[in-house]
Amino acid sequence: MHIGATAALVSPPQSLSPATFPAIFTSRLNPLQSRFSAAAARAATGSPDTQTHLANLEHILRRQSPLPPQPAPTASPFVGLLLPALRLPPLFQRRDAEEASPRSLAHLNHLLSDSAVPSPRRSISGRWREFHGFCDWSGLLDPLDPDLRREVLHYGDFIHSAYHAFFNSPSFSVDSPRPVAFPDRSYRLTRHLFATSSIDPPSWLPSWTSHRTSWIGFVAVCDSDREIRRMGRRNIVVALRGTSTCLEWAENLRANLVPLDEDDGNGDKSPKVECGFRNLYKTAGDRHQSLSSAVVEEVRRLVELYKGEELSITVTGHSLGAALAVLTADELASSSPEMPPVAVFSFGGPRVGNRAFAQRVERRKGVKVLRVVNAHDLVTRVPGLVKFPAEIAGRLRDGYEHVGRELRVDSRVSPFLKPDADLACCHDLEAYLHLVDGLGGGGGFRPNAKRSLVRLLSQQRGNVKKLYVRKARALGLDQDEDARRAGSGCVANI
């Protein structure tokens, strides 16, 4: 694909009105939920007071009778169809029946460890191509290879960094660069990325809804010799957050299929993608390049800068970011014959294009896609969940198909989440990472999962079983929302 040929394909700005997008005018920006409890770090030190708390709690809780299991209510399909691909606030969380007490009290240490402290990662220098999808992750997914699990979780934490940077930078405009806290110090931020909507909002909308261009992620490169030796190559990461502004919501609803580039043609068997995704990917802003142009330009620069080294490119995203990650990988692979291998690790991603587009991505040399999918996440079933009359199905959702290999998780097998966890929890990024960490052979939940529950509790408290909420509150880990802070990571800025 050629960047210069895409300008004519981007739809001209369209007027936004209540009649066109009624759901958008009743929505608010999704506030950041991914904050850590400062008390968790103090508890993790294992002080005498903490140990006393643990001993007393275990003694008391062992005497409690478990609640009898109750059937989980069934979510209304109608309500599910109205939810766009977003990390929704606790407004939609239910606080009704839950199952009996989860597993052993030995898992209480999950609530006391800060997820910002990663578990040791072994050298993968001899197997990195396997983990990058050279063989379509054959033999690595069931049971999930422990080294691949760590790599997937690491890329998920990069997306957390993007969400945190966007929502926790109040002194920065939404279309401005901002500090980014990385999961570790091995990576260096090289470029900020922006996405622009093709919709022209009317002047009477509130100012917080009128920004067509928003910061959406970053490009980073591994800059640690030790980490490069561990991974067996220098890795370039592109991380993209999910839907977070009203105009991004509006673009998500534009589900008609359109060609991604003019070279793709417009026939029934031509590669096509969702109109809203294409617009956010290809539209340039007043002060920023399009996401498409910026990513390709920066990756090419880094590939030239580190020419002669073993390189790889990893594109990771959640929700809307997962869809944009597929478009990014498709274009990167076609932008240069010397492009390093590209792998996509996506979480909770919707369908992106039609069957012809999916086949094109899967047949491209050097592109592999691994989709992490929660069995109860409705976002992963759209577009295409609703069936339309035959006369309009061809140009709307009919023909949408997923790309790549699927890694399926199930929120109902987690011993820490309620069995009737709501739709917001089923799509939440931290819930996804919690389930990947716990994924055992045959789809069960492994007893030796290591990821902290602190962030999950802060984001999905209403969906965590009450026993764990009570224990966290008793230990001072369940603080008010204003008290939660993400005090971890290495701050990077350019």
Catalytic residues: 319, 377, 427
Name, in order, each residue with C-beta under 8 angstroms of 312's C-beta and a sequence gap of 6 or more: 128, 132, 233, 234, 235, 236, 340, 341, 342, 343
Q: Report the chain's C-alpha Rg in angstroms.
A: 22
**Full DSSP string of 30-63:** -------BHHHHHHHT--HHHHHHHHHHHHHHTT
Sign (positive or negative) of CA dihedral 148, 87, 465, 96: negative
Question: Please, which residues bridge with residue 401 across strands?
Answer: 353
Name, in order, each residue with C-beta under 8 angstroms of 167's C-beta and a sequence gap of 6 or more: 31, 32, 244
383 cis-preceded (ω within 30 degrees of 0): yes
Specify whether the CB–CB gap between 321 and 406 falls below 8 A: no
* Length of the chain in terms of residues written: 494
Task: Give dist(CA 114, CA 487) in Å, integer.
Answer: 10
Task: Give dist(CA 249, CA 246) in Å, integer.
Answer: 5
Residue 98 corresponds to which tokens in the numbers above? 């839950």
**Full DSSP string of 86-114:** B---GGG---S---S--S-GGGGGGGGS-
Task: Give dist(CA 399, CA 415) in Å, integer.
Answer: 37
> What is the DSSP secondary structure assignment for residue 13, as one 8-state letter?
P
Neighbours of 361 (CB within 10 A): 21
Q: Helix/strand/coil (H, E, C) string of 129-140?
A: HHHCCCCCCCCC
Distances (CA, A) of 375 to 215, 372, 437, 443: 30, 10, 16, 11
Task: Give dist(CA 323, CA 85) in Å, integer.
Answer: 10
Task: Give dist(CA 278, CA 188) in Å, integer.
Answer: 28
Distances (CA, A) of 199 to 10, 15, 431: 11, 6, 32
Residue 103 corresponds to which tokens in the numbers above? 């597993």
Task: Compute φ and ψ for 165, nearest 5 degrees.
Answer: -65, -35
Distances (CA, A) of 213 to 164, 165, 273: 18, 16, 21
Residue from 364, 395, 389 nearest 267 by CA:
395
**Regarding beta strands 367-374 and 342-347, do their DSSP bridges make them parallel or antiparallel, or are they unpaired?**
parallel
